[in-house]
Chains A and B, each alone.
Chain A
Amino acid sequence: MKRKSFLLMMSIILVLSMFIAACSSKDAGSGEGKGEGNPEYGGHVTLSMFSAPKGLFNIIFYEDQYDNYVLNYTTESLWAYDDKMQLTVPLLAEKWELSDDGKVVTITLRKDAKWSDGEPITTDDFIFTWETIASKEYTTEAKAPRYYAVEQIKGAAEMHEGKADSLSGVKKIDDHTMEVEFTEATANALDNLWPSPIPKHVFDGMSVVEMKNSGASRNAGEIVTSGAFKFKEAKKNEYVILEKNPHYYVEGRPYLDEIHLKVMTQDVAMGALKNEQIDFLGQINPAEFDTIKKMDHVTIKETQDLAYQYLGFKVKNPKLSNKKLRQAISYGINRKAMVDGLLRGHGTVLNQHMPDASWAANEKLKDAYPYDPEKAKQILEEAGYKDVDGDGFVEDPDGKKLEISLDYPTGNPVRERSAILIGEDLKKIGLNIKVKSPRDFESHSDAVQKDKVEMWLMGWSLVPDPDPSGIWGSKANWNYPRWENKKSDELMKKAITELDQEKQKEIYAEWTELVSEEAPYVFLYTQNRIEAWNNRVKGVTFDWRGAIEHYKFIDWWIPKDLQ
């Protein structure tokens, strides 16, 4: 399908959503009741899903973005990020404390938290969850992808290799207190720690594969949840109905009786919002912003997304190894026009790995590489790229013909169009760019991973934790430009072991400037996250993660006369 756009980008977003989804409610009370009247109980909201969830509703096994979308409403986690992307909001964890050396965290759980079947949520559930993920069978037999989320716990490696049966780094103090020891002190240890439990009393005694295939992970009637909602009915490939969890610990929440999630194509979802057949619509295409804005019964909001699109250079390719050429290309692409035109202004030109929304963003780079074709030409000229044979295209400094290819995948219509604009722009500064026919995303990533491309387009979705080493480490699998830089590695290492966030920010500033100077990427743009909802739904909180997946969904309510 043409609309695989979101799927493609979303395979990456798994990472992001893991954190967002895992987040859930907290004591509400803020941000509500302003001119909206007193909350009333009852009613349901309807949400759309652009493809069917795969039906694996278990937070430690799911891989599909819409499984996750559903789990968002049924899963509670230890903590959540606040509106400034700091991990400060207590949920299942009442409080937590890091030891001075940063290696041990003591977590105290709420005593009133219960599973949807009425059993208490205790430290046993968490230890059971972590040990399940760390076990060898989890990866090899159950083929599940989340080992990285417990990797830093002491003793995880031994379990993963099958040499140990339990995590030596986790210590149960009592039913509501536990200690977790990490292999090393890092600033993002808590961000990386798996925060959502599965019920031990349900899964105990099963092998990991049995857990994954058990009814308690797949059948609406059998799934035991920790969040504000539990499963009422799931019609495979069509819809999911969630109902209020009576044992949910937050007093008087949720207000809604049910949440309905329905599968429909993106093409018609906007019509469904207009006709009030759905209450929320996410992943809104910038082109639809104005149309939705005109609907009287709908609120539409946007925020910068934690994601970006980029143009990458294979820096080891002799054609692209010259930093000057890469800088000239950065100046030569009119990214502003992309944002204004393709994104209708609902986005931002980006110059670094950290989007503006992140606390680690470097202010100084805001206007790096403005569109300046003259400067681009000048840089090329100075670096020895001249049009020797008069064909309108520059030759490389050795006087040899220079043709650079640009690969891009299908799926994301905005990105596909940006490829064409890049080709046109670079032609204007005298570069002979061969814009290739787009390939499907799998073939494209295959070619990029195997270094069979020269320049390419792709995107990343990020998590609030700014640590870039997974994507930028010299030896990282995902370092597609194959840009190896000692200084960069050092800075990233230094940042992560620095526990003071202000100092961390300074280190990241140095790092982003280094990347900007070396230009292994041209950062293109971040597209805004745009979401809209029917005004009959009150109590909606919208921030950097949008409204739909915000942990404050428990505050949503609908006036009686509109239910």
Chain B
Amino acid sequence: MLEGILEILIKTVVILGIPLGALPIIIHVERRGAGFIQRRLGPNRVGPFGLLQPLADVAKFMFKEEVHPTHVRPFFYSLAPLVALTVALLPLACIPIMAPLEINGRTIYPEVFRSDMGIFYAFAVSALGSYGILLGGWASNNKFSMLGALRACAQMVSYELSLSTSIVAMIFLYGTNDIHLMVAAQTGYWFGFLPKWGFFIQPLAAMLFLVGIFAESNRLPFDLAEGESEIVAGYHLEYSSMKFAIFFMAEYIHMIALSALFIILFFGGYSILPGLDLIPQSPIITPILQMGSLIFKIAFMIWFFVWVRWTLPRFRYDQLMDIGWQRLLPLGIINLIATVLITYFRNQ
């Protein structure tokens, strides 16, 4: 029993530690990447290549004055960032970073809790993501915040629909909810060179999911929640110091969690990248390669987020809702119907 709890604690610390530790790096990449894309330097003064800039930012956030505006609803004002961060962290609990390990005849699962409903769990929990934003906007008792929160919430729920249609299509094709089985189904090659990733059998679902991630995590071109030119900063307008930083962290962790889900569904999860499997496998090397592959894939996704952010301008709100309801949702439904019918008639 005690051993079991110790195991859970270790896993929890690792699972929470990796994304939280990666956050400063991600923020640095984002700012330097912005500089790179816009042909300027970006932060390069603090430390070698500006590498210490994120630490300086964190220190600055910590020493900032905590402002509690007089007109907010105090309890919910403090609760909102907490809800945002906790909800963003929850989906990570069942995302495996490597295949189950066999140690002394015992199977150890790398995720915090093992379930054959892994995808369901992660998807359901990430659907709660709008509450933190909604609470923050409402508790701030400010017209800009309220509008930002409402917009964000309406946007998140609209894009969740097309996202769920692509999840249904993938669950239908894999026939399982179990993340390990899904990854196993995507290991190996077609014709000897094309990885068996879900992306190659369902490119449309992958695109829907990808757009859905951008909208769900409120990233450009879908960051209407904080559209600076119209509503100043949206739902976190009245927040300062660490409370603001927590909203910021929650957004990035939400991004990481959703990217991990995307990779599990469409890019083979922790399955080893093509090329790396030429390295002779052993019980020690394989888990390291798997972890490295997953982290590489997630890192690429994060870079993709940055890339898109500094490439595309923001949509107008009516365009955003039109895309969600009139383009992506019917595409998702038609894709689902086509997937089911083609699978059925091929098996006849």
| Chains A and B form a bound pair | no
Residues of B near any A CB (own CB < 8 A) = none
